[in-house]
Amino acid sequence: MISFFRKIRQKLLQQNRVTRYLIYAIGEIALVVIGILLALQVNNWNEKRKEREKEIQLLTNLQVEFKDNLKDLDSVSVEVDKVISALERMFNSFSKNPATDMKDSVDSWISSALYSPNWKPSQYILNSLTNSGSITNLTNDRLKLLLYQWSRQQNEMLEVQSRTEKTGEEIIFYVKEFGSLRNVDTSNPTFNYNPSKLEISNNHLLSDAQFENLIDDKLYMYKNTKRWLVASKETLIQMIEESNP
């Protein structure tokens, strides 16, 4: 095409037709410019296509991680409900003169109270996004907002779980000093040993104000944990919906 225009220019110059020469020269320049613009447009389109494909893969990976976390959350939530139930039964049984026939129940309640199910969601993909700064490249503003909200909730979770674990340790230390940890452990089917033969019972702990405070503390923390799990589940469900490629 360029050699074709060159021949025309030479012919026009030989014929001393300057005006038509200029027109052809301008036309040639215009064609070159149009060609460059088309090439840039195609390149730009290819880059956008590659970025979109990369984002789709990223969203797919995020969604898989979110769904796995949601499944784990539901399992942990069931365990948390069991602990809360045991704590409430024991909490409602405190009195000045607890019934003497509650020995086995008390041991079982304390055993359940010592269990501290924690939810530790996977954040591998999200951490990679955060560390690389790729979150800002996401085109879904709603998803970006939810991801920041999720990060905030995780920090709150760590604080709640840390305190909850501490309450369990405080109960263990107290039972060690004022009751029978062996009787508590043997109430668990996985601990295949006989109860203590020292004729010691944990029944009296139901009339102990300090032990009641320890149970109150853990029940309070697990109620907070439950509320946090509910809020986290709502956020997860929204993120799963928004991360749909």
- pLDDT of res. 18: 52
Euclidean distance between CA atoms 239 and 170, whole angstroms: 37
Residue 7, pLDDT score = 59
Domain ranges of the chain: 54-242
Q: Is 178 exposed, middle or buried (0-12, 13-18, 19+ CB in 10 A)?
A: middle
> Any idea what the Cα angle at residue 193 is, between residues 108 and 88, rounded to 5°?
5
pLDDT of residue 131: 75
Say if residues 243 and 62 touch (Cβ distance below 8 Å). yes
pLDDT at residue number 8: 53
Nearest CA-CA partner of 222 in 99, 109, 112, 83: 83
- H/E stretch holding 161 reads helix 141-178
Report H helices in 15-123: 18-91, 103-114
Q: pLDDT 10s per residue in the chain (245 long)?
A: 555 555 555 554 455 555 554 565 666 676 677 777 777 777 777 777 777 788 788 888 889 999 999 999 999 999 999 999 999 999 998 988 877 667 678 888 888 888 888 888 888 877 877 777 677 778 888 988 898 888 888 888 888 888 888 888 999 999 999 999 999 998 888 888 888 888 888 888 999 999 999 999 999 999 999 998 999 999 999 999 998 87
pLDDT of residue 129: 75
Give the tokens for residue 14. 């030989």
Dihedral of alpha carbons 155, 156, 162, 165, sign: negative
d(CA 83, CA 207): 21
